[in-house]
Amino acid sequence: MSKRYTIRELAEEFDVTTRALRFYEEKGLLQPARSKQTRTYSAADRTRLKLILRGKRLGLTLEESSDIIRMYDPEAGNRQQLETLLSKIRDKRAQLREQQKDLELMLLDLRDAEERCLQALATEPKRANG
Amino acid sequence: MSKRYTIRELAEEFDVTTRALRFYEEKGLLQPARSKQTRTYSAADRTRLKLILRGKRLGLTLEESSDIIRMYDPEAGNRQQLETLLSKIRDKRAQLREQQKDLELMLLDLRDAEERCLQALATEPKRANG
DNA sequence: ACTTACGTTTACGTAAACGTAAAGCAATTG
DNA sequence: CAATTGCTTTACGTTTACGTAAACGTAAGT
């Protein structure tokens, strides 16, 4: 019997509300068991939560994260299903690589912005107003 | 007089609705002029729109994109303001670098997923069901 | 037994980012 | 000149991702 978590433990660890955890469950993203009416989360639930939150930081919707989570295990035995899955995985990877480009562009822009800002600070050293 | 765009031109070029463009204007992100009641967008508006959409692809809210756009020009002459701006720029850069890490992790995970998927396809070559 | 601290469900509320329909000018086109 | 086309504003609707309040169950401590 591996480690199990209460709703509060998970909520505090990842700095989310218990409401959010119940919401994720309602959406099918988490599947805690019940020990006498109270939810009890498995290590797998904890991992899924991590993936959900990572997805959020990348701007994914819960449904997109849900899709990705399903991609992680080729449970689907059928060849047809496997190829569909493979295709989805590749699509998502391609999309993430596009996102990588956007990210680098924005980082470059901000690097320039920082530079210009430093310049402005250098040229106008210590007066109150220009 | 540099190039100007109608609302439809911009909408089609970037594949957004005119409603979205008016919405961005309402939120202060775009400032088209009016030529006889009709909106006319400048090259600067077009650039801002690009930044907005890039921000969206990265999961930023419109307000965050708005902030970033303001970071691009150190119009603020005041030293105090410049340092505040600099600080914001650095915060956002740091945040984007965190996002970069998340992105790479997710790409790695999907690489594994693809691998497992290919394995599954290899071990169960051409049957209909397992 | 009472309080405290957690848990539960149900349900309405909210912010963001538009979608969509309605209704009215304004120019052009058959 | 009526109709179409494209712009405009106004305004209500929708989806996502929860927040928040109400009302209740339950186990632990005093």
Domain architecture of chain A: domains with CATH: 1-73 (1.10.1660.10)
3-state DSSP call for residue A40?
strand
Query: Pick from A46, A13, A11: which is nearest to A31 by CA?
Result: A46
With CA atoms as reference, the chain A residue closest to B80 would be A128
Q: CB A129 to CB B78 under 8 A?
A: yes
- Taking the CA of residue A12 and the nearest CA in chain B, the distance in Å comes to 21
Question: Which residues of chain B between 24 and 63 are close to nucleic strand D, CB under 7 A?
Answer: 37-39
Spatial contact of A90 and B113, defined as CB atoms under 8 Å apart? no
Helix (H) or strand (E) holding A41: none
Spatial distance between the Cα atoms of B111 and A56, rounded to a whole number of angstroms: 20
- Give the pLDDT band of residue A130 (cuts 50, 70, 90): very low
Residues near B98 by beta carbon (within 8 Å), at least 6 away in sequence: A57
Predicted confidence (pLDDT) per residue in B37-94, tens digit: 899 999 999 999 999 999 999 999 999 999 999 999 887 778 899 999 999 999 999 9
Asked if strand D comes closer than 7 Å to A34 Cβ, the answer is no
Q: Cβ contacts (< 8 Å) between B85 and chain A: which residues?
A: 117
Pairing relation of β-strands A33-35 and A38-40? antiparallel
Q: What b-and-e string marks burial along A8-38, b requiring 16 or more CB atoms within 10 Å of the CB?
A: eebbeeeebeeebbeebbeeebbebeeeeee
- Burial of A48: CB neighbours in 10 Å, binned 0-12, 13-18, 19+: buried
Predicted confidence (pLDDT) per residue in A82-121, tens digit: 999 999 999 999 999 999 999 999 999 999 999 999 999 9
Q: CB A106 to CB B58 under 8 A?
A: yes
- Taking the CA of residue A107 and the nearest CA in chain B, the distance in Å comes to 6
